Chain A
Amino acid sequence: MEAVLSVKNLAAYFYTRDRIVKAVDGVSLEIRSGTVTAIVGESGCGKTVTAMSILGLLAFPGRIVAGEILLNGRDLRRLTLKQLQEVRGGEIAMIFQDPVNALNPVLTVGTQMIEAVVCHRRAAGAEARALVLECMGKLGLPAPDKMFGMYPFQLSGGMCQRIMIATALSLSPSILIADEPTTALDVTVQAQILDELCRLKREFGTGILLITHDLGVVAEIADVVYIMQGGLIVESGTVYEIFDRPVHPYTKRLLQSFF
């Protein structure tokens, strides 16, 4: 299968006052549709910066200094801001670690979901509302009609994360970047969210880029794994290769420290 998104030799540096922090220093990876690709590493290893770079969301003082980000053969680094905005959400959606704070607290979840749909001109008015409600139903949210008019603070963390995934789903992106999607959630809710992600991959063929530090989550849903350390990919392979025959000493250490 052809890779939907491929990142080649990506380097992103942070130019701080006293030094240059090489957060990502030559990362190459591929995401195929209908698979879960996981980037695993400790905090500060550059996982999130890689994801942010893909979407062009790296903020000052961070900057992409080298590399190509090819989405279906198109280099995202060469796009204008307007073109990039079409890609964000439309073709590559992202969900975040802290779902409650990722939503706007003063708007109802329905308004926020419709905003995404309307922005990308997928639908408008009653049609947009119907689309949003349909997506909420698909994700197993109870009573979508009622939840549509609720504010994020009225919902639990797990529900907010489902809203985020439903929003992403409403634009049927080919890639979903999930940055530590379950770290802030209870294990029971985590298991349910992981099931939803698996369903997304199976039923809609979405390519998922999962960023996590939890090897349990990786073992549970990932197909391809990249192990990252200090801005570099130190080992990559299928989930079975990584768990059965780790080669790099860092990977071995990771697997040992997990219990």
Chain B
Amino acid sequence: MSKHFKAGGSLFQGGKEIVPAVDGVSLALSEGETLGLVGESGCGKSTLARLILGLERVTEGRIYYQGQEITGLDYTKLCDVRQNIQMVFQDSYASFDPFYTVAGIIGEPLTNFGNNGRSLGNEINSIMERVGLEPAYASRYPHELSGGQLQRVGIARALILYPKLLLCDEPVSSLDFAIKAQILGLLKDLKQQLGLTYLFISHDLSAIRYICDRVAVMYLGKIVEILSMRRLLEDICHPYTTALLAAVPVADPRLRQAERGHIKGEPPRFAGVAGGCRFYFRCPHAIPLCREVEPVLEKVGTAHAVACHLKHELGLGEQLSEVRTGGPGDSGEIYSQERSG
């Protein structure tokens, strides 16, 4: 049994300007897998998650869950699907009703699905125990809790229906590092205990590396590379993925790089992209072809797909792993190196 998602291009129409937040994305997520979705702010990661849950209307394309199409379902049918797909939000405090107690927040999905009986309290207690919340917190209000505790409440609320798939939208990005490690550990444990499947959205590659099996890299509404986590350093190929990885600070002052091979600037506005590769303007390797023709996502290995015209010429992986393990040269070389093609 596998879960299949095919989320296809969606367009937000606001006034005259059309912003293709998610533009022709195809992804398949198998059961028991943790797929990371990484990219800069505004690349469409969160929109993709909201599309899957039916929180946004799909403009084009289809989404399948366990072989059944779930795009454009009516409200009651969508509710059934949502029992199996739940979401953990980035800013958990903002996603709670401040007038609800913790027990009320966690229990709401259950009452929504018709469970008003005596078991409600027990269910809430057992899920709170699972996510590591003291039973005493049940009667507290969101403002009385710390960021880490709030995120635990968010996870408990998402899990109380025992869904199959959990969409985690930046669950740790607003947290302190120590709390972040705790929450990531918790998510990892819960996955094993409950046999969950995660779509883990983050802009933080270190968190992704810790928890994910596969990672999809998104840039301006398109997936530019899909990699297996285990072979990240060997396979990494797209210049954007390389740049993203190079931008993550390394926790070793000896590997400090004075002027690293950072990509400069920020993603252009969508209106600026016409034809050609979306990464053209920031890509250090761009050739004239990149401006003309948009590369398509092509499979280049068993679990590796990349959308780049220079995918065969850019064997960036080896050099990057060399840099990260303190090998010769600094990562500036990655970008100053001549293309062999």
Contacts and interface: CB of A to CB of B under 8 A. Distances in A.
Is this pair of chains taken from one and the same complex? Answer: yes
Interface of A: 42-43, 142, 156-159, 186-192, 194-195, 198, 213-217, 219-222, 239-240, 243, 253-255, 257-259
Given A188-B262, A189-B266, A195-B259, A216 B178 contact: no
A159 B258 CA distance: 22
A216 B250 contact: yes
Contacts of B266: 156, 158-159, 188-189
Contacts of A240: 253-254
Contacts of A142: 265
A222 B249 CA distance: 12
B254 A216 contact: no
15 contacts: A42-B178, A42-B179, A157-B41, A188-B266, A195-B262, A213-B176, A215-B177, A216-B248, A216-B251, A219-B251, A219-B253, A240-B253, A255-B251, A257-B177, A258-B177
Contacts of A188: 40, 243-244, 247, 262-263, 266
A194 B264 CA distance: 13
B113 interface: no
Given A216-B251, A257-B177, A257-B181, 8 more contacts: A186-B41, A189-B40, A192-B264, A195-B260, A219-B251, A219-B253, A220-B256, A255-B251
Contacts of B205: 187
Interface in B246-301: 246-256, 258-260, 262-266
Nearest to A238: B253
Nearest to B259: A195
B174 to A, nearest CB: 9
A187 B204 contact: yes
Contacts of B179: 42
Instruction: Say whether chain B's binding surface is mostly helix, strand, loop, or mixed.
Output: loop
Contacts of B263: 188
B100 interface: no
Interface string B197-223: 000000111100110000000000000
B249 A217 contact: yes
B147 interface: yes
B262 A192 contact: yes
A198 to B, nearest CB: 8
A217 B41 CA distance: 20
Interface residues of B, number: 35
A259 B210 contact: yes
B178 A257 contact: yes
Contact of A187 (B244, B251, B256, B258): B244
A187 B260 CA distance: 13
A42 B176 contact: yes
A149 to B, nearest CB: 18
Contact of A216 (B246, B249, B262, B264): B249
A187 B247 contact: yes
A186 B206 CA distance: 13
Nearest to B40: A186
Nearest to B261: A191
A243 B178 contact: no
Contacts of A192: 262, 264
Contacts of B260: 191, 195
Nearest to B175: A43
B92 to A, nearest CB: 15
Contact of A43 (B176, B251, B265): B176
A14 to B, nearest CB: 17
A184 to B, nearest CB: 9
A44 to B, nearest CB: 8
Interface string B223-249: 000000000000000000001101111
A243 B252 contact: yes
A215 B147 CA distance: 19
Contacts of A214: 177, 249
A190 B173 CA distance: 14
Contact of B253 (A159, A189, A198, A239): A239
A216 to B, nearest CB: 3
Contacts of B248: 187, 216
A259 B40 contact: no
A245 B152 CA distance: 34
Contacts of B252: 219, 243
Given A192-B262, A195-B262, A43 B249 contact: no
Contacts of A190: 247, 249
A255 B253 CA distance: 13
A219 B179 CA distance: 20
Given A192-B264, A219-B250, A259-B206, A43 B147 contact: yes
B178 A191 contact: no
B176 A220 contact: no
Nearest to A225: B253
Quick one: which of A157, A198, A219 has the most chain B CB within 10 A? A219
A123 B105 CA distance: 56
Nearest to A190: B247
B210 A191 contact: no
A221 B206 CA distance: 18
B256 A213 contact: no
Nearest to A241: B253
Contact of A254 (B178, B210, B243, B254): B178
A187 B203 contact: yes
Contacts of A259: 181, 206, 209-210, 251
Contact of A243 (B206, B209, B253, B264): B253
